[in-house]
Amino acid sequence: MNLFDVYPLFDVNIVKGKGCHVWDDKGNEYLDLYGGHAVISIGHAHPHYVESISRQVGTLGFYSNSVINTLQQQLAERLGKISGYDDYSLFLINSGAEANENALKLASFHTGRTRVISFNKAFHGRTSLAVEATDNPKIIAPINANGHITYLPLNDTEAMQTELAKGDVCAVIIEGIQGVGGIKIPSDDFLHALREACTQYGTILILDEIQSGYGRTGKFFAHQHSGIRPDIITVAKGIGNGFPMAGVLISPMFKPVYGQLGTTFGGNHLACSAALAVLDVFEQEHLVENAACVGAFLLEELKKIKGIKEVRGKGLMIGLEFEDPIKELRLRLLHEQHVFTGASGTNVLRLLPPLCLSMDEAQEFINRLNKVL
Ligand SMILES: Cc1ncc(COP(=O)(O)O)c(C=O)c1O
């Protein structure tokens, strides 16, 4: 059997990781400014993480959601405290798309409505409603194109208010910072107006913090830079540092109904032990503060480099927009300088390193970037 060939691959076989570095099968070391697509939050192969999940799998890896799982309860308590949402409830699943799918479903159960507002260039995942809310016709199959979504320009307050005033919108779904869309930041004013309009017209506000959350921008959630509180928040990627896991944080205005949501694997014992180990390391190593501090340094230094059209971002979620396509630049960074980076579209280089990136590693990235510019 062959693999179903949907990924254009770099010709590199990564076999080992440690902190912000990975190694290929030939022993070459790479600086990881990509974090396996924003997934590696506490660093590769962190000893506490390795010890915790090894111990858990040797004790009990999985049992179903039909019995008490105290690890889920511990995770909900600790995530509530660290994120500032301890009055919200937690529903655990396995991937970002699944988190958004459940968030939209909850919003529809709650409001009885079916229309959703999303934004130009948004990415919310590849399952049914999540992909319909994703502004990329190439990945929306005919079976997913069901006319639920109205796309609006990001930060266009008037267009958003006009649409919500129609009174039939179930939910607005918005990324804390658009990742795939090219590190586009919703303005504080826009988020405040959005919060107000959603409350006024009975629309559920869903913040997709799958890429921008979990400390990445120097606050636990990107929307916390603006001070608003959404009704539902979705998280994934960094929550398990590579263990497939996701969560929906749900405001107390939603009342749970037995059987309304469910999953076989979501919140299993092994996943919870991974997520709890991640939170231990967040606290012990002050990773949210580190993302703020090292991210500010990187942003400042990158803005000094000539030849970059625009540098945008917050904390360790940074986009470098170039006049020309970056494909060649990214390949040279990888093969000549041994640096992994991400991309958004054709012209934006995306940085999503582990949140433990040190000042020295940030400086090292700048040195290596300068060599290929
Ligand atoms: C903002 C955002 N939402 C949703 C998703 C989908 O997550 P997953 O690939 O885990 O389904 C992603 C993945 O890149 C994302 O960046």
Q: Could you state, in order of their start, the residue ranges of all structural domains in the chain? A: 14-46+291-372, 48-285
In short, whether 97's Cβ falls inside 6 Å of ligand 1 is yes
Q: How far is the CA of 284 from the centre of ligand 1 (A)?
A: 27
Nearest-atom index, ligand 1, CA of 127: 11
What secondary structure, in 3-state letters, does 264-319 show?
Answer: CCCCCHHHHHHHHHHHHHHHHHCHHHHHHHHHHHHHHHHHCCCCCCEEEEECCEEE
In this prediction, residue 156 carries a pLDDT of: 98
Task: Please report, as a single letter, which amino acid is at residue 370.
Answer: N
pLDDT of residue 191: 98
208 CA distance to ligand 1 centroid (A)?
9
State if residue 242 touches ligand 1 by the CB under 6 angstroms criterion.
no
Ligand 1 neighbourhood includes 208 CB (under 6 angstroms): yes
Which of 237, 239, 350, 352 to mutate for ligand 1's pocket (most ligand atoms within 8 Å of CB)?
237
Q: What is the pLDDT of residue 42?
A: 98
Atom of ligand 1 nearest to the CA of 98: 11
| CA 234 / ligand 1 centre spacing (Å) | 10
Pairing of strands 21-24, 29-32: antiparallel
Question: Which of the residues in the chain have pLDDT under 50?
Answer: none
CA distance 90 to 293: 29
- Residue 278 confidence (pLDDT): 98
Q: What is the pLDDT of residue 87?
A: 98
Please tell me the predicted confidence (pLDDT) of residue 218.
98
Q: What pLDDT is attached to residue 332?
A: 98
Q: What is the structure's pLDDT at 62?
A: 98
Query: How is the beta sheet containing 14-18 ordered, strand by strand?
Result: 14-18, 21-24, 29-32, 339-340
Decide if 14-46+291-372 and 48-285 have a common fold. Answer: no
Structure confidence at residue 203 (pLDDT): 99
Say yes or no: CB of residue 211 within 6 Å of ligand 1.
Answer: yes
Residue nearest to atom 16 of ligand 1 (CA): 211
Q: Is 210 in the pocket of ligand 1 (CB under 6 A)?
A: yes
Whose CA is closest to atom 4 on ligand 1? Answer: 124
pTM above 0.85, yes or no: yes
- Out of 1.10.260.40, 3.90.650.10, 3.90.1150.10, 3.40.50.11720, the CATH code matching 14-46+291-372 is 3.90.1150.10
Q: Was domain 48-285 assigned CATH 3.80.30.20?
A: no
